[in-house]
């Protein structure tokens, strides 16, 4: 993918994602968003395993905010749009929206912090920062 200013991840809603009424359980959206973030990082060459093995970087969620607009239902095809919105010394800010077709279902933001294996805040390595700078969207 040549332009990752916005990354699109597609998935289907399965029975395991829903409550008894066939509506996606609210916490599952966090799982969907994490999958999309993980795939976006992989696509830009900063996959989670390489970050850990090559740079000693572990990403953890520092803050997450979700606004539920409309429900997803069993068997819906969802698209999660992920955009890197800010890059700090040891943090990455992202915007993530979940859609079913053109319909917005969920709006979210997430802040990740970079830690070392001991759980201490770690400045993002230059090589990793360069990869993330190439996909940041400040609009």
The domain spans of the chain are: 7-133
Residue 19: active-site member: yes
Architecture of domain 7-133: Roll (3.10)
Asked whether the beta carbons of 68 and 29 are under 8 A apart, the reply is yes
Check residues 65 and 132 and name the one with the higher pLDDT: 65
Asked whether the beta carbons of 83 and 76 are under 8 A apart, the reply is no
pLDDT tens-digit readout, 48-64:
888 888 888 999 999 99
What is the model's pLDDT at position 2?
38
- What is the pLDDT confidence band of residue 20, given thresholds at 50, 70 and 90? very high
Mean local confidence (pLDDT), 29-45: 93
Q: Which of 17, 19, 76, 111 is the catalytic position? A: 19
The 10 Å Cβ neighbour count of residue 16 is 7
pLDDT tens-digit readout, 110-119:
999 999 999 9
Which residues partner with 94 through β-bridges?
84, 110
Average pLDDT of the chain?
91
């Amino acid at each position: 993918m040549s332009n990752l200013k916005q990354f699109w991840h597609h998935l289907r809603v399965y029975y395991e994602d829903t409550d008894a009424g066939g509506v996606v359980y609210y916490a599952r959206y966090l799982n969907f968003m994490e999958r999309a973030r993980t795939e976006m990082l992989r696509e830009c060459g900063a996959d989670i395993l390489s970050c850990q093995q090559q740079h000693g970087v572990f990403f953890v969620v520092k803050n997450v905010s979700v606004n539920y607009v409309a429900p997803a239902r069993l068997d819906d095809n969802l698209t999660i749009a992920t955009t890197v919105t800010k890059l700090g010394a040891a943090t990455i800010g992202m915007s993530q929206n979940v859609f079913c077709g053109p319909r917005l279902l969920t709006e979210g933001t997430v802040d990740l912090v970079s830690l070392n294996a001991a759980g201490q805040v770690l400045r993002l390595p230059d090589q990793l920062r360069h990869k993330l700078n190439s996909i940041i969207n400040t609009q």
